[in-house]
Amino acid sequence: SSHLTEGVFRGTITDAANFDPSVDAETLYNAMKGIGSDKEAILDLITSRSNAQRQEIITAYKSSFGQDLIEDLKYELTGKFERLIVSLMRTPAYHDAKEIHDAIKGVGTNERCLIEVLASRNNRQIHEMVAAYKDAYGRDMEEDVIGDTSGHFKKMLVVLLQGTRDDPQIKLILYYVLHTVKDIGLYMCCIIMLCALCSLYQPPGSVVTHLHLVFEAYEAIAEMSIEDSIKHELSGDFERLMLAVVQCIRSVPMFFARRLYKSMKGLGTADNTLIRIMISRSEIDMLDIRECFRLRYEKSLYNMIKDDTSGDYKRTLLNLCGGDDDLAGEFFPEAAQIAYKMWELSAMTKVQLRPTVRPASNFDPAADAQALRKAMKGFGTDEDAIIDIVANRSNAQRQEIRKAFKSLLGRDLMKDLKSELSKNLERLIIGLMLTPAEFDAKMMRKAMEGAGTDEHALIEILATRSNEQIHAMNAAYQSAYKTSLEEAIQSDTSGHFCRILVSLVQGAREEGPADVERANTDAQELASSCNADSDDMEMKFMSILCTRSFPHLRKVFQEFVRCSNKDIEQIIKKEMSGDVKNSFYAIVRSVKNQPSYFADRLYKAMKGLGTDDRALIRIMVSRSEVDLFNIRKEFKETYDSSLHEFIQVETMIVSLSLRLLALIVGLLRSLLICLSWLLPWLCLMALEVCV
């Protein structure tokens, strides 16, 4: 009764042995009768039965007690837990049908739900879902989808709704076009149609393998992955749909691992998405999803759910998850092969870095200098005017404004800004006014001065800067602080961590493309060092990770997967610790996808209690003229929430916290004043009582 993928069961929920639906029906009835209900008994029973067995329990419950089990569960349970348990009691087809119905009913459409379900289901699942929709709602699913969507997005959904993946005649036509067309735009359109018409579940050697070769041919022509090409050429819901289709062709489990991560990261938890995926994949490929999840996010799905949910809802989800992969400590061959392909894509993709701050047109440094002086003269400061000028000029233009301010007004702009602004705004504006080299030098200094060291800041800066940027930073540090940056690092850090930083601060990383033969040798040496003691291993990693060019390291890390059947990121996490681990991990993440690394750093700066304002300012300032647009895209893709929205929420929380603190201080002050007035009177009363 369980679903099979390519003949191998990879689910976490299976048929219970010695199953008796009448006994289970009575157990559930007893758990719900009287005042309150035994929620643990309900969830333990339901999550230890397959979906087919649950249907038998529903029938037995009605026969034995003359009541509808689902209606009784709805009555007894509440909230997310009720939603999860009731959804588990529906057949997969009716569950999918309800998800689609809920996505398009009422005001607004949940396009992401439509994309996830229709992009990931095979022909049989589509046909069963469409029939269930007709039976449950008396309506045609295709008509409802057409009525609620538009444009290319609508047309592609209709194609998927036909459940005609693997139609040989249509694919034959597309293959012919692919082998004859030269126009890259038309080529991509053909691939998109081919993706939509190819089955998600094919044995090795089938059309899916051929489609991977088509992807590779496209990537060789376009010099970017098919995913990046879709992001570049398409937009909105159509872009999201086509990315989902391609991701499902590459790996259905990885697609769902991404969706699960997004459902629990960002602002709040997308419980509907979490429930839908955990239920729909529990009897199909949850084990594969778990592997992909740990590979991509370096944390088990089990622990992610554990940290992000609570109560009986959490217990039910953990039962569906089936186990904690962090405890196992294994390296799965399937996940390693996905890792190999990820490195291959990273190596071949030509990323076009896009800034968010560009030089202003009709630039007049004298006029800007006068406007800034006017904003700071007299009583109060026009902070909006300062922000408007500084944030809308390139760094080179800001340097011209500094010179104009000094020559026209005989004043130091930086000193004036420091005296007029305060706290984080002052840090941010001053950071923007410094040259990139001055700013990096200042950030390195701030990371090391005073008690304690901000190791993450040191790692982030040195792991992501080019040789030229590091040399400029060294010169700026020497000029500003009259000592070398290398000496400062040596006096503030120690051990292997110090050696790694000193190696990076030389700015002597090799440049140029990968040397394939040498990359194989480097990969073998890294793999062999994993069996050595920790000191030798760390020194070998440093000798390669801190000196080779990024293109070369991409090839090294790819070949490392092939020769060890392990992923470099997992090895670093498992075998190393502390700042050494963080340093190597930052280099690997930066090599793989630097904008993604910075998106992760920004998220960590804002999540949890309080905001790491220094990290937030450091990244926003240093990347605004390099790749902040790319970072924004990665942030949105990973956390399903815009960077803009995240910053707004975080700064609003800080503002409210400060207001609340001020209010508390004000109330305490008023209370103390009242006590000062009451104290003499209370003393007299006490004296009279004593007398």
User: What pLDDT, in 10s, does the model give residues 632-678?
Assistant: 988 988 887 889 888 887 665 444 444 444 555 455 566 566 656 66
Alpha-carbon distance values, 477 to 363, 464, 483, 614 (Å): 30, 18, 7, 19
- Which parts of the chain register pLDDT below 50? 1-6, 202-208, 653-661, 665
Helices (H), 77-225: 79-89, 92-104, 111-120, 123-137, 141-148, 151-161, 168-180, 184-197, 207-222
Reading the block at residue 2, the tokens are: 């369980």
Task: Give the integer Cα–Cα distance in Å for 440 and 461.
Answer: 7
Q: For position 204, what pLDDT does the model report?
A: 41
Classify 363 as helix, strand or coil: coil
Alpha-carbon distance values, 225 to 178, 286, 345 (Å): 16, 27, 6
Burial 413-426 (b: 16+ CB within 10 A, else e): beebbeebbeeebe
Number of C-beta neighbours around residue 392 at 10 A: 13
Reading the block at residue 551, the tokens are: 């293109």
Contact yes or no for 47/11 (Cβ under 8 A): no
Reading the block at residue 202, the tokens are: 């094919």
Task: Give the integer Cα–Cα distance in Å for 133 and 207.
Answer: 30
Number of C-beta neighbours around residue 244 at 10 A: 22
Q: For position 654, what pLDDT does the model report?
A: 47
Q: For position 556, what pLDDT does the model report?
A: 97
Number of C-beta neighbours around residue 429 at 10 A: 23
Contact yes or no for 293/302 (Cβ under 8 A): no
DSSP 360: P
Burial 85-122 (b: 16+ CB within 10 A, else e): bbbbbbebbbbbbbbbbebbeeeebbbbbbbbbbbbbb
Reading the block at residue 406, the tokens are: 């000094």
Q: For position 208, what pLDDT does the model report?
A: 47
Q: For position 378, what pLDDT does the model report?
A: 79
Both ends of the chain: CA-CA distance in Å? 90
Q: For position 607, what pLDDT does the model report?
A: 81
Torsion sign, CA atoms 357, 359, 361, 362: positive
Q: For position 340, what pLDDT does the model report?
A: 84
Reading the block at residue 242, the tokens are: 């086509």
Q: For position 347, what pLDDT does the model report?
A: 80
Contact yes or no for 505/485 (Cβ under 8 A): yes
φ and ψ at 598, to 5 degrees? Answer: -70, -35
pTM for the predicted model, two decimal places: 0.78
Task: Give the integer Cα–Cα distance in Å for 689 and 691.
Answer: 5
Task: Give the integer Cα–Cα distance in Å for 129 and 17.
Answer: 29
Task: Give the integer Cα–Cα distance in Å for 225 and 219.
Answer: 5
Domains of the chain with bracketed CATH: 93-327 (no CATH), 365-433 (1.10.220.10), 437-665 (1.10.220.10)
Reading the block at residue 624, the tokens are: 């605004």
